[in-house]
Amino acid sequence: MLGVSLLAGCRNTGRPSAVVAPAAPPMFSDVAVPSSVPPPILLGTDATISPLPDSLQAFRPITPEPLFVPESTTPTVSETPPPVFQKTIDDLNDKVAELERKLADKDAELKHALLPTPIPETPKPLSAVPLPMAKAPPALPTISINGVSSSVDGENVRIRIPDAVLFQPGTMRLTANGEEAIRNIAAEIRTKYPNAALEIEGHTDNLLTDPTNATQKHDAASLKSMVVLQYFLQALQWAPETIATSGYGSSRPVADNGTPEGRAQNNRIEIVVKGEGNRE
């Protein structure tokens, strides 16, 4: 309190005053007091601030020193290597990329090799495999004329006309009924098979009227087919490029030549409606 009063008195006068060390209290009379005590800091005066003596340094506030961080010892690496090393670096990068590709290929091979092998299915016996059903072609229409028969022969339709219907007995001249039969057959063919080609076949029995003439039956069969062809071309104006003739003689019998009935069936004309053009 005494020190504060002295400081207050000095502030009031505005001039520095002599500082008298206060007498030690009786209870500390035995404590040694330093002979030289630094003057107190006078606020508002021109007195110079003196450093604290060593005996009072313990009361100085401790100011933390800045942390020392050593500089990095890692050498600075230039982003762009010197040109002398650029080619070497590029070569090494290429080799690394090639090795990575090879490793990827090997890895894919190993993965494929480790896949489970599929067990082949036991083939079924042929008897257990259902066969595909063949689609049946549409049925060919036949000719319906009195005295004339027709049948399907593969892709063809055969129209059979006996000589007794077509020709006058013992001649190669057409009868009125024969001409009418040919006209009706032609009309049916034009309606049901407009794009088909025709072949007129002549057939006979095996009886020879002239044993010395070996071609008698073939000649007779060819002549009969030519008579019918002429009627198609002249009377019916049939296109000649769509019709042809052939004579087979007695080589293709349809009945027994040993009976009159069988020989009557073998003496015939067959008109064959040919080919895929028969389909509607």
Q: What 3-state class would DSSP assign to 100?
A: helix
Task: Give the amino acid at 35.
Answer: S
**175-228 per-position pLDDT tens digit:** 999 999 999 999 999 988 888 899 999 999 999 888 888 899 999 999 999 999
Total domains in the chain come to 2
CB 181 within 8 A of CB 161: yes
Q: Single out the residue of 253, 245, 250 nearest to residue 222, CA to CA.
A: 245
In a domain, 273, yes or no: yes
Assign residue 175 the CATH number of its domain: 3.30.1330.60
CA distance 181 to 162: 11
Q: What is the mean pLDDT of residues 257-270?
A: 95
In a domain, 271, yes or no: yes
Sign of the alpha-carbon torsion through 206, 210, 213, 218: negative
Q: In the chain, what percentage of residues exceed pLDDT 90?
A: 37
In a domain, 249, yes or no: yes
Q: In the chain, what percentage of residues exceed pLDDT 70?
A: 59
In a domain, 188, yes or no: yes
Q: Give 7's pLDDT tier (boundaries 50, 70, 90).
A: very low
Sign of the alpha-carbon torsion through 51, 55, 56, 60: positive
Q: Are residues 157 and 260 in the same domain?
A: yes
In a domain, 127, yes or no: no
Buried b (16+ CB within 10 A) or exposed e, 93-130: eeeeeeeeeeeeeeeeeeeeeeeeeeeeeeeeeeeeee
Question: Strands 268-274, 197-203: parallel, antiparallel or unpaired by DSSP?
Answer: antiparallel
Domain holding 252, by residue range, is 149-206+214-278
Q: Which of 41, 56, 71 is the last residue of a domain?
A: 56
- The mean pLDDT of the chain is 76
In a domain, 153, yes or no: yes
Between 206 and 139, the more confident residue is 206
Q: How many CA atoms lie within 13 A of 273 on its CB side?
A: 28
Name the residue with tokens 């500089």.
71
Q: Give 104's pLDDT tier (boundaries 50, 70, 90).
A: confident
Q: Which of 56, 72, 89 is the last residue of a domain?
A: 56
CB 163 within 8 A of CB 204: no
Q: Are residues 52 and 153 in the same domain?
A: no
In a domain, 111, yes or no: no
Neighbours of 217 (CB within 10 A): 23
CB 189 within 8 A of CB 181: no
CA distance 66 to 251: 133
In a domain, 121, yes or no: no
Q: Are residues 38 and 153 in the same domain?
A: no
